[in-house]
Amino acid sequence: MNIHSNGSSPVIDPTTRVAATAVVSGDVRIGPNCSIGYGAVLVAEGGPIRIGAHCVVMETAVLRGVPGQTLRLGNHVLVGPRAYLVGCDVDDDVFLATGATVFNGAVLGRGCEVRINGLVHLRTVLEPGTTVPIGWVAVGSPARILPAGDHEGIWEVQKSLDFPRYVFGVERPAPGQSMMPGVMPRYAGALRRMHADDRIDDHAD
């Protein structure tokens, strides 16, 4: 299903297959000979999505463009089932396995692999050819690749990446306090306004 959203309609090369239950919304451009699987969601929410040639986005993967951050896939990229990508830059020949997660501002060089349930944290840079093992976490620039259980090692790098400010534009709250009451009304309202005029656009190019 193609959706006109926030003033833009998807532009999809005629040689690309989009499954009937996939959702492609807003300023999304998909190049030739790609395949978008059942239940996949590609939604430009303030930032565009650009997909090159010969890419496969598998079932139930979610790709989101966000304000100030284009989500880009190069050529010959595979995005596995249940993967989640937001506002990141993925170069050619990258393999993102089932359940892989790539956060805001991350950059993946050519030929990288993020294996099953691997995670690339926000503002993290993977050099070309880097592999994130099954369930491990890449964090920082240059990236450190750590087991998911190494909370202290991950936090040592992650804290300076400043998730609250980078993603939501707020100060990190004091220990024991939550940023959610301040962030969620604003965030939900912004999404509501952004999608207020959405409409199904079965004639998108």
Q: What's the pTM?
A: 0.93
What distance in Å separates the CA atoms of residue 8 and residue 27, rounded to the nearest whole number?
5
How many domains does the chain contain in total?
Answer: 1
CATH of the domain at 156: 2.160.10.10
Q: With respect to residue 31, please indicate whether it lies within any of the assigned structural domains.
A: yes
- Reported as a single tens digit per residue, the pLDDT across 65-105 is 999 999 999 999 999 999 999 999 999 999 999 999 999 99
The predicted pLDDT at position 28 comes to: 98
Comparing C-alpha atoms, which of 65, 67, 53 is closest to residue 89?
65
* Enclosing H/E stretch for 155: helix 151-161
The predicted pLDDT at position 112 comes to: 98
The predicted pLDDT at position 203 comes to: 55
- Reported as a single tens digit per residue, the pLDDT across 95-108 is 999 999 999 999 99
Spell out, as residue ranges, where the chain has pLDDT lower than 50: none
The residue segments making up the domain with residue 121 are 2-200
